[in-house]
Structure 1
């Protein structure tokens, strides 16, 4: 990773940490989020995964349109540091601890890889 990539990654991490803290306070069932990126294809390669406790939490946030609110929160926070997501619906996804446990025995690195 180039020095400029590392600097940008640090900015993304700080920004997403603030989003995570906000989501933990305001969205029931939200647990954590992470990102993956290939800086050779940035920003199109930026993928953010928001993790909830279980599938019922995911269904609830979709029914209450909190998924849209969380996507907007992430997109706006990234825009504040100069990163525009071309396709937030594809670049920000939702998952659950239960789904990872069921299909990947809780191995998030394998699931996200």
Structure 2
């Protein structure tokens, strides 16, 4: 990883960490987030996965349109870090622990690879 890519990754992680800590304060069942990216196709390849504990919690967030607010928060944090995604709706996805267990046997690495941008 060259210096430019390393700096970009550091800025990306810092921005997403701030968003993650914010979401934890919302008391909506949000558990953690992670990202995948191919730096040679950045920012189009960026996929941020917001993970909830249960399917029901995730569905409630979607029903209440809190996913829109979460995407806005992530976009704001990324913009402050100098990262400009073209369409945040394509860059952020919602997921949950129950679905990963049921569909991928709890293997998050395999699950994230399927949704890689």
Q: 1:42, 1:13 → 2: CA distance?
A: 14
Q: Deviations over 1:7-47 (max 9, x none)?
A: 11011111111110110011411000001111101111111
- The total of aligned residue pairs comes to 113
The answer to whether residue 12 in structure 2 is matched with residue 12 in structure 1 is: yes
Q: Secondary structure of the residue that 2:35 maps to in structure 1?
A: strand
The answer to whether residue 70 in structure 2 is matched with residue 70 in structure 1 is: yes
* TM-score (ref. length: structure 1): 0.96
Q: Secondary structure of the residue that 1:43 maps to in structure 2?
A: coil
Deviates more, 1:55-64 or 1:95-104: 55-64
Q: Which runs of 4+ in 1 moved over 4 A?
A: none
Q: 1:17, 1:27 → 2: CA distance?
A: 17
User: Relative contact order: is structure 1 or structure 2 higher (C-alpha 8 Å, sep ≥ 6)?
Assistant: 2
* TM-score (ref. length: structure 2): 0.93
Unpaired stretches in structure 2, ≥5 consecutive residues = none
The answer to whether residue 32 in structure 2 is matched with residue 57 in structure 1 is: no
Q: Deviations over 1:28-80 (max 9, x none)?
A: 11000001111101111111000001111111001111100000000011011
Q: Secondary structure of the residue that 1:106 maps to in structure 2?
A: coil
